[in-house]
A and B are shown apart, each in its own frame.
Chain A
Amino acid sequence: MTKHEYLAVLAKGLCDLPAGERDRFLDYYREMIEDRIEEGLAEDAAVAAIGEPDAVLREIRREAAPQPEKPAAKRREWRTWEIVLLVLGSPLWLSLLLAAVAILFSLVVAAVSILFSLAVTLWSLVVVVYAVTLSLLVCGLFGLGYSLVLALAGAGGSLALLVLGGGLFCAGGGMLCLLACVAATRGSMYLCRLTLRGLRRLFRKRRGSI
């Protein structure tokens, strides 16, 4: 039997083990076979020296049944010198700790205020769009009304026409801007919702990981 065939039989026999565990076994037996070949044995002799795959598999099963229990990370006892060092060093590490906390806090405050100012800017832009729309519409209405007055009053026809044109232009612009208003409102609300959701997820994840 060649090395590959042997290892394939082992792999098949261990297919229910976790992949990492199985690979460790295969690496181990591959190394054993290769070390024997390197020492001068023929490949089939090296494979035979390891033993029948069935026997090896049985052995692995017997040993693998009670998992090699990892000693549960046992609580370390504090040594006296560690406590002394901790107390003696407290002026140093306490102030460093306080500084670290302060820096962390100011970073959080800065992040929050940046987010807040971004939100305010966004919404003020939206308000500007609304104001422009409103003024355009008002101008349009006024222009239309005024041109009517001018025409009725019998003033110069060209002036009335000019005012009428201006009024129509403003009214048209205002209607277009109305569309922009809707879009801006929707977009801003979407962005805000996205940010809030992101923040909430961030906090939830952090709480989950602690």
Chain B
Amino acid sequence: MDIQMKRGLLDICVLAAIQHEDSYGYQIIKDMSPYIEISESTLYPILRRLEAAELLTVRAVAHNGRLRKYYRITAAGRERIAAFAEEWKEITAIYQFVTRGAV
């Protein structure tokens, strides 16, 4: 997949991975892995970027005697997902146009 396209999709997928319940790094990677490949070192800057953009918040939760960081989506994060779904309709139309007659 094109790198730029994948970058954009990864952001959305990380938001999607926490949209139903708060999640932590490893769980996010596991949840995404059937759909899109992501490594720990790729996830980290995405989380930082989304946090800086206030699309998610971070809190440390005690777990088995250590701290685990949980990520929670914000209202702005949900809006971002909704905007992506809207955009995708346009992309589908473009796809139709591009592949017209090719099949």
State whether A68 touches B48 (Cβ < 8 A): yes
Q: Are A31 and B24 in contact (CB under 8 A)?
A: yes
Contact of B52 among A38, A56, A60, A71 (CB under 8 A): A71
The interface residues of chain B, by DSSP majority, are classed as helix
Looking at chain A's contact residues, the main secondary structure is helix
> In the bound complex, do residue B26 and residue A25 qualify as a contact, i.e. CB atoms below 8 Å apart?
no
Q: How far is the CA of A60 from the CA of B45 in the complex (A)?
A: 8
| Per-residue contact bits, chain A 13-35, to B (CB 8 Å; 1 contact, 0 not) | 00000000000010111011011
Contact with B along A80-104 (1 / 0, CB 8 A): 0000000000000000000000000
Given the contacts A31-B25, A68-B52, A70-B52, A63 and B68 also touching, CB distance less than 8 Å:
no
Do residues B39 and A28 form an inter-chain contact, with CB atoms below 8 A? no
Category for how many chain A residues contact B = 20 to 34
Residues from chain A with Cβ under 8 Å of B52 in the complex:
68-71
CB distance from A23 to the nearest CB of B (A): 12
Find chain A residues with CB under 8 A from B53 CB: 71
Residues of chain A lying within 8 A (CB to CB) of residue B25: 28, 31-32, 35
Residues of chain A from 1 to 53 with CB closer than 8 A to chain B in the complex: 25, 27-29, 31-32, 34-36, 38-39, 50-51
